[in-house]
Amino acid sequence: MIPDINIIKEIEKEITVKYGKLNLFALLEREDLKDKWDVLISVAISLDKKNELLNDIINKFKSKLQPIELLQISRFIYLEPSHGFVLNINRVAQIENSEVEIKNSTFNNVQIGHAIIISSAS
C-alpha cells in the first residue's frame, strides 16, 4: 500500500516554499521490507539546515498522514544534490509536484522495485 500521494505532494509544496526548489523528493519501496517506504529528499541547503529540514519533514508526515500510513514509512534520507543517485534520477525524470513511477530499475547500483518520484530537478 502506498501512502496518500496527494498528501505527500502537499508536504512537498510546503517544503519547497520553505527550503527552495528540490532536487529530489521521492518514495522508494524498500527491497528488504515490502510495503515499507523510504522518503528521499535532496535540496541545496547549508549543512546546519539539514537536521531542521529532516525534522520539518518528519513532523509534517506525522501531522498529515493517518497512523496506518505512517507505519509504512521506514526512513527519511537526505541526499546531497551532487549525489550520483540524485543526478541519475534527475536525468530520467524532470518534474515538480507531480508523480512518476519507476519500477524494476537500477540507479547507481540501487535496485528499485518501486519508486514514486514527486519532484526531480537538476
**pLDDT tens-digit series, residues 60-112:** 999 999 999 999 999 999 999 999 999 988 988 777 777 888 887 777 777 77
User: How many other CB atoms are found less than 10 A from the CB of residue 41?
Assistant: 23
- State the DSSP string of 68-101: HHHTTEEEEEE--TTSHHHHHHHHH--BSSS-EE
Average pLDDT, the chain: 89
Asked if pLDDT for residue 1 goes beyond 90, the answer is no
Q: Architecture of 5-120 per CATH?
A: 2-Layer Sandwich (3.30)
d(CA 4, CA 23): 21
Please state whether beta strands 73-78 and 22-29 pair in parallel, antiparallel, or not at all (unpaired).
unpaired
- 3-class DSSP state of 19: helix
Torsion angle of C-alpha atoms 73, 28, 122, 96, degrees rounded to 10: -70
Residue 101: all three cell numbers together: 513511477
Of 64, 65, 42, nearest to 118 by C-alpha is 42
Q: Is the pTM of this model over 0.85?
A: yes
Note the pLDDT of residue 26.
Answer: 95
Please give the residue that has the higher pLDDT: either 9 or 2. 9
Kindly tell me if the per-residue pLDDT of 8 is higher than 80: yes
Residue 31: per-residue pLDDT: 73
pLDDT for the residue 41: 97
